[in-house]
Structure 1
Amino acid sequence: MVAGRLRNALMAGSALAAFTLVPLAHAQDASEGSSTTVLERLQVRGGGEDATGVADTPLATETSSEDIENAQITSIEDLGRRLEPGVGFNSSNGSVNIRGLDGARVLTAIDGIQIPYLEDGARGADGGINSFDFNSLEAIDIVRGGDSSRGGSGALGGAMILRTLEPEDLIQEGRDTGGYLRSIYDSKDSSISGFAGIAARMGNSSVLFQGGYRSGNETESNGNVGGYGPTRTEANPADYDENNLLFKLRQATEGGHTFGLTAERYDIDTDTDLMSEQTPTGNYRPGDWWGSEGTRRERLSFDYNYEAADDASFFDTANAVVYWQRLRRSSGTSGSRYTSVIGPYSRLSEVTNESYGLSGLGEKTLELGGLSHKFTVGGNFSTGTTSQYSSGQDSCATAPSFTCNFLHTNQADMPDVDSTQFGIYIDDEITIGDSRFSLTPGIRFDWYDHSPKDTAAYQVNPNYTGLPAGQDDYQFSPKLLGKYEVTSEFDVFAQWAMAFRAPTASELYLDYGAPGTYLSIGNADLDPESSHGFEIGGTYDNGSLRGRATAFYNRYKNFIDTRSLSTAEQTALGIAPGTYPFGVTQSINRASVEIYGAEFSIEKQFDNGFSLNGGLAYARGVDRDTGEVLGSVAPFKAVIGAGYATETWGANVNWIGVASVSENSTANFKAPSYGIVDATAWWKPEKLNGFSVQAGVYNIFDETYYDAVSLRDVTMNQPEEYYSEPGRSFKVSITQRF
């Protein structure tokens, strides 16, 4: 079976490469045989630029496509484990975690287009921000800290800025075509994958095709108890299929203008045999209870980039992107019930966001009043609709009972919400003479509007009493950044910045439950979250020694959370006592939360090929009213590694250590400390031009350990080992560039 998946993946990758190589080869042959004079070629770049400008800050670090390939990064979890110790992925809610915040509090953008974080509020279809393939990326920028001065709403914890491959990334110097073929095997989920990319340049035009397919099973736990029911510690069996396609067309013109078209699609579907919930005499019987998860993102964008030829232009550089994007996240179960409401049962909750928008920026350097000013002006506009729907079936129509009150479906748990966002910013990097000191004041204005729309699906909701009120608001986000170049190798910086986050559609308008059971509702009167943040740090780079150190403090106001309402509070909302005997929960604003910490990284390259590296990330979050430690903040993490490299091969060993979760943390599960060891190696034989092999063994000593961020809100119905991370695993990737 594994061999069959490998064959299919390699055939898919090879077919894609062959399909694109044939016409491009003909085009190259035709140009080589022509006697026409060839004009000087322009550099063709496009939408891979950060059209938001969010990553243009000393608070950002970059991971290149070469780093991704060498470290075998295929997921956000891998990125945080191997290259970015302060980054995590919350697998429970499908979001990236930076400095103790995740969900909608971390901004994610791809080629200047924000990927929204989707929430259905109650049925588990959360996430969507990881709807991309790492093999399609040119670089990842991680921005740490709350700063909305460029990114706008959502950048409270930081941002993950993704840039996809450009044709120039695959074309080697002196050639007009280029590409790659890659296959990866990962034992932690028995996945086989194949990827291919091809690019060609014809005069001032260039084109890129890239795609991939991955097929795998469940990500293993480190448990060893199989079978059915509450004693199972092995992960439930699963199968998934993942694919992505990326197409780019670029046209450069005289005068520094480049125009581009990008089409992208990503899709993943997972089916799981929920054996841990099945028992021979229970409500769910062996072989008849399944789960499903799915994410699909599609986009079409037109982009523009400009590089001025001289100082006479209005802008030195500028870029913009206009786009359409649709993101869908689904989660469901299906099978039969045998003891509660006997008969077939299924549920599928889907959340969809479809949006149109544009973003861009321009930069200009001027000498004014004896000072050098680098002005940056940018902004974004988007409009779209978020919708949620739960479909399904059960036997309540023929066998009604009290239990049927819990089985509400074929309805929307909130109205469709039309949302419009607009933001504009300006900042000025002021350099004072030859002092090597610069000061950058900046400010951004954001306005948003959420407008709920009545739909037939929402009207059949058992709690429907009419359409809730819309909400609009605005926010100013200033910042002040100071930088000083101590030497040509050593820089220091300090920043104060504000950030904010508008409430999501689910937080405002969720309406899930039924009379006689429970109720979870949003709050149309929620205030936006906001923060003040301070950061100081320094970077050092002399070519062989690189280091970075930062310390930060952030205070958050109007933190959005949920809590149970008292009887008096329910009455104030017009809910009669006893209508929902199992309780009412509602979105609310918490007054004040603080998160502070420090991060450090260092790497030393020796002339003999050896290298040493290390990094740490420490953060602590506290509710200032209750004194509780926030469970969303990852515990202290350290990475220490050593490596050796020649021109043709290299190897690395890393130790990753993570502290235990504080006993007074709000996390449901207090994950214990752990230390694991990973080893990786690569080989690029001289006689096989463009050929490379990467291999890694992870968790070499088969340690049983737990991801604290993903388990903070989990109610454990299985033994602990069921929730553990994979034991010893290995990954092998083979790449051929041409």
Structure 2
Amino acid sequence: MLNRHHRLALLACTAFVTLAGIAVSHAQSTTSNEATAAEKQGRVTLLKKLEVKGGEKKGIADTPLASQVTEKELDDHQISSFEDLGRYLEPGVNFNRTNGSVNIRGLEGARVLTTIDGIAIPFLDDGARDADGGIDSFDFAALSTIDIVRGADSSRAGGGALGGAVVLRTLEPEDLIGEGKTWGGIFKFAYDGEDESLGGSAAVAARYDNTAVLFQGGYKRGHERKSNGDVGGYSVTRTEADPADYDQNNLLFKVRQYTDSGHTFGLTAERFDRDKDIDFMAGQSLLGNYRPGDYDKLDNTRRERLSLDYKFEAVDDDAWFDNASAVIYWQRLLRENGADAFRSTSVIGEYSRLNEAEDESYGASGYVEKFFDTGILQHRVTLGGEFAIGKLHQYSSGDDSCDEAPSPACGFLHTNQSDSPDVDSKKFGIYLQDRISVGDGPFAIAPGLRYDWYEYSPQNTAAYMRNPNYDGLPPGQSGDALSPKLLGTYQAAEQVELYAQWAMGFRAPTTQELYLNYGAPGSYLRIGNPDLEPETSNGFEIGAKLGDEDFGGRVSAFYNRYKNFIDERTYDDPNDIYPRGITEAINRANVSIHGVEVSAHKVFSNGFHVRTALAYAYGKDLDTDEVLGSVAPLKGVLGLGYATETWGTDLIFTAVKSVSEKSTSSFKAPGYGLMDLTGWWEPEQMPGLRVNAGVYNVFDKTYWDAVNTQNTFTQPAEYYSEPGRTFKISLTQRF
């Protein structure tokens, strides 16, 4: 939780940003007067024009397989989480809260790549202690765009993009500074009934000559995300969510130096922190080992980064490249999970755990593009790559009474140790793509090829050597892969683009999949497998992008085959050293996922509009015929609305099919239908102000998200249900 000094610092930063905006506003007025005087004297300073880049797709997202959500859409639809994003705008995107990962087309965890400003946010795989995730370590209020890339495209994105990629871009000064202005800002306040959270954020950008600066900060305080259960109390009958309190804050600073020759140099500093305390009432009972008030949990996430940024856009035909982008960075991501409790019957006494998973990395990534002709052929060649070195660290610390009063139960209490060695990692990738067209004709093909290489080097530590299963340092692993791609597009009409793509994907095993070593003789064992092979895939997709903002849509069909799909199996120990069984990471030989995605929208001249989307995917193990539980069932969304220049409203219907009985999920989530009602108002008397409000799950339906209910339940099913009827309201003021 934030202490008083941290809160004072955040308040001071918010006050500074607000005062900066007022000061810059005054400076703008003064500068305007001075400029007028200068013009009279024939002295005019020409400033580089800042252009809003939010709608552009660059790098990984430069593909017809990507869709984009803008900062305005994030605000207008009150999107503050991945759950919000997948509810209406991107129904094929899900978020698994049990492991903290995005799910696209049935793949999640380390199989979906997440980047922020060109820097990969690693998915932390803790292995056994639930300190997983970390890819949601950012504030949605700090974003300018989100690009969702569907399907494997390792030729551009690199390893880890088997399911797709989430490409995040934070606010830039030009996103806030309007045409003809030298400053701009945005202030946001929101209440969300899902977790009774209240928060606000402020962003201000100012420009002097060719230098621009941006400050953004946010703070939110909330509670537990509600279930739709109504049974309180303690122990295994509880269906209400366990009480929780969390604090979330973020700070973002950017400085950009523009030049008249097309070069832009920048510095970015970012920090995100979320601390959550949970009263684990479901694990407490009047006569059990943990009595009421004696079991608290914590769940924390922190990410920090510093980066040097470079962008280039050619201003004449003599430049070596037409555009380029690069970033050099340091980043650290930390996930913490733990408990603070007191035992009353078994191993009596104080009990605490703090489980840590950390990834610290240094790296660089970027690309250059060049347009040129060879005879009748036009080329757009892109050359890019990345390099990163990092250290992955896992550790569990804690206290209990085992040292003072050993008992048989102590064999199950593993702490003050590492479940895997520290691992030094190196990653390198380089790719080349050439988009080739015949003159200005409608046909184009874009062959691409990427080479990836990785190396893991386990390091002995005292904490790892304290592991009761320690049997020496496991071997390192290295590997490489070539990932080709061929994309073809056809501009059938001005607003009709057809495309087809074949692409190969690649993912190296995570360090926990290789080196996890959790358990103890006499109990159970959960281990990685240092002989795992990297996952590979072949993906085929055809689709079309149609129309414009007033009338259009997109449709796609895909089929993906995966080799050496990494999973786990549980079996009995033939030597009976681990009588509770052994769980080990394995490669599945053949897995497939196929499906279709459709979306369409129409805006009528009388103010009415309609939007619809459908996402369907089906995945199974081709050898065992098991249906993959990670693949979300069929989902359809229909939105009907009306809008004027100053207000509007939307009615949104969502329908989801039940989970297949053949699914590997322990709980077969039933199908459901929901209705949401939202509205907005922009008062004419207050330019730049927008008020959004919504009632979600209007009829208080009890339902379950299949992606979040794959594991075995320990509580009644309602404990794992989604929120019932909730309310949300937000205010956004732009300057």
* Shorter-normalised TM range: over 0.9
Any residues of structure 2 matched to 1:157-306 within 5 Å, and which?
A: 157-306=163-312
Residues 55 and 70 in structure 2, CA contact (< 8 A), matched pair in contact too: no
* Aligned length in residues: 723
Partner of 2:678: 680
Distance 1:50 1:692 in 2: 25
Equivalent residue for 2:158, pick from 152, 159, 166: 152
Equivalent residue for 2:423, pick from 417, 425, 428: 417
Any residues of structure 2 matched to 1:311-350 within 5 Å, and which?
A: 311-350=317-356
Q: What's the CA shift for 1:51?
A: 10
Deviations 1:251-285 (A, max 9, x none): 01121000011000111011010111111100110
Residues 258 and 265 in structure 2, CA contact (< 8 A), matched pair in contact too: yes
**Is 1:631 matched with 2:629?**
yes
Deviations 1:612-634 (A, max 9, x none): 11000000001000001100000
Deviations 1:510-538 (A, max 9, x none): 11111111111111111100000000000
Partner of 1:737: 734
Please report the TM-score for the alignment, with normalisation by the length of structure 2. 0.96
Q: What's the CA shift for 1:408?
A: 1.4
Q: Which moved more, 1:442-451 or 1:535-544?
A: 535-544
Distance 1:397 1:9 in 2: 42
Q: What's the CA shift for 1:20?
A: 2.6
Partner of 2:534: 528
Deviations 1:366-413 (A, max 9, x none): 101320011010000000100000010000011101100111101111
Distance 2:13 2:721 in 1: 33
Letter of the structure 1 residue corresponding to residue 218 of structure 2: G
Letter of the structure 2 residue corresponding to residue 737 of structure 1: R
Distance 1:116 1:74 in 2: 21
Equivalent residue for 1:712, pick from 683, 702, 710: 710
**Is 1:545 matched with 2:543?**
no
Deviations 1:669-720 (A, max 9, x none): 100000000111110011111111000110000000001001112x212111
Describe the shift of the 1:327–1:46 C-alpha distance in structure 2 as closer, same or farther (beyond 3 A): farther
Letter of the structure 2 residue corresponding to residue 595 of structure 1: I
Letter of the structure 2 residue corresponding to residue 657 of structure 1: A
Distance 1:488 1:634 in 2: 35
Any residues of structure 2 matched to 1:10-159 within 5 Å, and which?
A: 15-21=15-21, 24-25=24-25, 27-28=27-28, 31-32=31-32, 34=34, 37-44=43-50, 53-159=59-165
Distance 1:552 1:203 in 2: 49
Any residues of structure 2 matched to 1:693-708 within 5 Å, and which?
A: 693-708=691-706
Q: What's the CA shift for 1:89?
A: 0.1
Distance 1:632 1:129 in 2: 18
Letter of the structure 2 residue corresponding to residue 705 of structure 1: Y
Q: What's the CA shift for 1:8?
A: 10
Describe the shift of the 1:122–1:171 C-alpha distance in structure 2 as closer, same or farther (beyond 3 A): same
**Is 1:723 matched with 2:720?**
yes
Q: What's the CA shift for 1:42?
A: 1.4
Partner of 2:610: 612
Any residues of structure 2 matched to 1:645-664 within 5 Å, and which?
A: 645-664=643-662
Distance 2:65 2:623 in 1: 29
Distance 2:293 2:145 in 1: 43
Describe the shift of the 1:47–1:421 C-alpha distance in structure 2 as closer, same or farther (beyond 3 A): farther
Partner of 1:572: none
Please report the TM-score for the alignment, with normalisation by the length of structure 1. 0.96
Letter of the structure 1 residue corresponding to residue 648 of structure 2: G
Letter of the structure 1 residue corresponding to residue 721 of structure 2: S
Distance 2:473 2:423 in 1: 11
Distance 2:476 2:313 in 1: 42
Q: Which moved more, 1:531-540 or 1:334-343?
A: 334-343
Residues 53 and 175 in structure 2, CA contact (< 8 A), matched pair in contact too: no
% identity of equivalent residues: 59
Residues 52 and 360 in structure 1, CA contact (< 8 A), matched pair in contact too: no
RMSD, matched Cα:
1.8
Distance 2:12 2:591 in 1: 50
Q: What's the CA shift for 1:544?
A: 2.0
Residues 16 and 196 in structure 1, CA contact (< 8 A), matched pair in contact too: no
Q: What's the CA shift for 1:586?
A: 1.2
Q: What's the CA shift for 1:310?
A: 1.8
Gaps of 5+ in 1: 1-6, 569-576
Gaps of 5+ in 2: 1-6
Letter of the structure 1 residue corresponding to residue 599 of structure 2: S
SS at match of 1:230: helix
Equivalent residue for 2:566, pick from 560, 563, 566: 560
Partner of 2:382: 376
Distance 2:210 2:65 in 1: 35
Q: What's the CA shift for 1:465?
A: 1.4
Distance 1:45 1:508 in 2: 47
Describe the shift of the 1:331–1:541 C-alpha distance in structure 2 as closer, same or farther (beyond 3 A): same
Q: What's the CA shift for 1:309?
A: 1.2
Describe the shift of the 1:284–1:646 C-alpha distance in structure 2 as closer, same or farther (beyond 3 A): same
Q: Which moved more, 1:96-105 or 1:51-60?
A: 51-60
Q: What's the CA shift for 1:23?
A: 5.0
Equivalent residue for 1:642, pick from 619, 640, 643: 640
Equivalent residue for 2:522, pick from 490, 503, 516: 516
Residues 394 and 422 in structure 2, CA contact (< 8 A), matched pair in contact too: yes
Letter of the structure 2 residue corresponding to residue 407 of structure 1: L
Q: What's the CA shift for 1:175?
A: 1.4
Describe the shift of the 1:370–1:722 C-alpha distance in structure 2 as closer, same or farther (beyond 3 A): same
Distance 2:303 2:64 in 1: 31
